[in-house]
Chain A
Amino acid sequence: MARMKFVCDSERCIECNGCVTACKNENEVPWGVNRRRVVTLNDGVPGEKSISVACMHCSDAPCMAVCPVQCFYRTDEGVVLHDKDVCIGCGYCSYACPFGAPQFPSQGTFGARGKMDKCTFCAGGPEANGSEAEFEKYGRNRLAEGKLPACAEMCSTKALLAGDGDVVADIFRTRVVARGKGAEVWGWGTAYGSQQAGTAPVNGGTK
């Protein structure tokens, strides 16, 4: 069974923000909401790194655990989605998420917080696949069209990988072997619970 995952290769990300633009365009995300954004670490310092961050669709999602109205659900493909008709916009998920994925559009005269919005892995939401209602609430459902998320497919350097966990892990592994370094993949351990990821390889990468 396919388990959808994101990987961002910080050795390749050039901070072009193509993924951010692709996401906003594909899903027509409103002003003030960024489902995906690029974060640069040690900006301006030699050796700076950039990473593209969005919802990682965690295996054990903290947002799902803290939601008081249980608006989240996980699909068979491992994509964490939510029902905007159930969400009350409390913001608990925003505090729980280690990636800062949940976004809250300002709605109303006094800037009242609206319902939560986040990356859907281009999988839409609990409306009919490809329907107008699904697009307006959640954005495009590219998975149901047999496509992968627009951010990853648009990435010019292929720093951002998306797809079946086995495939993206194989691609990243090939790169690490070719480079001979850099097995640490940012966020992988936090999102998918691997003890190996996020730590430098010890004893020739046997750990």
Chain B
Amino acid sequence: MKRLWTSAALLAAALLLGACSEKPQTDAHGVRVDAAPWTGTGAQANTGTPFTAPGWKVGDRASWQEHLKQRANNGQNEYTRIN
């Protein structure tokens, strides 16, 4: 009878502690950091690829911003493009 009670107690303890072995379900790593677009698309930072548009220096933020402004104006503003 004593062995039965011991077995029951062990079984109950195992059930109670069962949740302790569960894997954590919280977001462990979070959102990864994204590289800035002005660093270019090359395999290494601050390099370009054949797809990189000419007219700006890869890795230079100011150059990239100015290039996109020029591109937006030249490509989308026909008031300055045509007149």
The count of residues in chain B whose C-beta lies closer than 8 Å to any C-beta of chain A is 35
Please give the distance in Å from B20's CB to the nearest CB on chain A.
24
Name A residues whose Cβ lies closer than 8 Å to a Cβ of B: 1-2, 69-73, 75-77, 81-83, 85-86, 123-126, 128-130, 141, 143-148, 152-153, 158, 161-164, 166-168, 170-171, 174-175, 178
Asked if A164 and B68 make an inter-chain contact with CB atoms under 8 angstroms apart, the answer reads yes
| B22 adjacent to chain A (CB < 8 Å) | no
Asked if A168 and B39 make an inter-chain contact with CB atoms under 8 angstroms apart, the answer reads no
Add 4 more A-B contacts to A71-B31, A75-B36, A163-B76 (CB < 8 A).
A144-B41, A145-B53, A158-B77, A164-B65
The CA of A71 and the CA of B29, in the complex, are separated in Å by 11
A sample of 21 cross-chain residue pairs with beta-carbon separation below 8 angstroms, ordered by A number, consists of A75-B36, A83-B31, A86-B27, A125-B34, A126-B31, A126-B34, A129-B37, A130-B41, A144-B37, A145-B48, A145-B51, A146-B52, A146-B55, A147-B71, A148-B75, A162-B76, A163-B68, A163-B71, A163-B76, A167-B72, A171-B79
Please give the distance in Å from B75's CB to the nearest CB on chain A.
6
Q: Which of B5-64 contact A (CB under 8 A)?
A: 27, 29-42, 48-49, 51-53, 55-56, 64
Asked if B31 and A73 make an inter-chain contact with CB atoms under 8 angstroms apart, the answer reads yes
Please give the distance in Å from B38's CB to the nearest CB on chain A.
8
The CA of A112 and the CA of B69, in the complex, are separated in Å by 42
For residue A125, which residues in chain B have a CB less than 8 angstroms away from its CB?
Answer: 34
For residue B41, which residues in chain A have a CB less than 8 angstroms away from its CB?
Answer: 129-130, 141, 144-145
Asked if A86 and B37 make an inter-chain contact with CB atoms under 8 angstroms apart, the answer reads no
Determine which of A123, A145, A148, A166 lies in contact with B49 in the assembled complex, contact meaning CB atoms within 8 Å.
Answer: A145
In this complex, the member of B38, B42, B56 whose beta carbon has the largest number of chain A beta carbons within 10 angstroms is: B38
Q: Nearest CB to that of A163 among chain B residues?
A: B72
Determine which of B35, B65, B76, B77 lies in contact with A2 in the assembled complex, contact meaning CB atoms within 8 Å.
Answer: B65
For residue B69, which residues in chain A have a CB less than 8 angstroms away from its CB?
Answer: 2, 163-164, 166-167
The CA of A146 and the CA of B39, in the complex, are separated in Å by 10
Please give the distance in Å from B70's CB to the nearest CB on chain A.
9
The CA of A167 and the CA of B80, in the complex, are separated in Å by 12
For residue A75, which residues in chain B have a CB less than 8 angstroms away from its CB?
Answer: 34, 36-37
The CA of A144 and the CA of B69, in the complex, are separated in Å by 14
Asked if B77 and A146 make an inter-chain contact with CB atoms under 8 angstroms apart, the answer reads no
Determine which of B32, B39, B75 lies in contact with A144 in the assembled complex, contact meaning CB atoms within 8 Å.
Answer: B39
Please give the distance in Å from B77's CB to the nearest CB on chain A.
5
Determine which of B31, B42, B64 lies in contact with A70 in the assembled complex, contact meaning CB atoms within 8 Å.
Answer: B31
Please give the distance in Å from B39's CB to the nearest CB on chain A.
7
